Amino acid sequence: MWKDGILLQKLKEKRPKEEPDQEAKQEASRWKKLSRAQDSILKYVVKIMEVCNAQGFVYGIISEKGGPVTGSSDSLLNE
């Protein structure tokens, strides 16, 4: 058990050296997934607008770090 603790500590010491590149890749992947999700949301909300004869819509997504991603329909932006 003691040896496992030492091994874990050594692995944690190596990890920060590899992490910046890996973290950047993960962040890019998250933003790509968020962009795809946003496109899907827009597609379905536009369909709902057509079915319900809605005048517009507004939505917001809060990222893990707390940064908002918002959007609205073009009909609301023009007014």
Residue 12 inside a domain? The answer is: no
Q: What is the pLDDT of residues 25-70, one digit of tens each?
A: 888 898 899 889 888 888 898 899 899 998 888 888 887 778 888 8
Q: Which position has the higher pLDDT, 3 or 43?
A: 43
Could you tell me how far CA 7 lies from the centroid of its own chain? 34
Residue 6 inside a domain? The answer is: no
Q: Is the pTM of this model over 0.85?
A: no
> Which range of residues forms the domain containing residue 43?
20-77
CA 51-36-39 angle, to 5 degrees, is 30
Please give the pLDDT value at position 13: 78
The number of distinct structural domains making up the chain is 1
Q: Which position has the higher pLDDT, 78 or 43?
A: 43
Please give the pLDDT value at position 51: 93
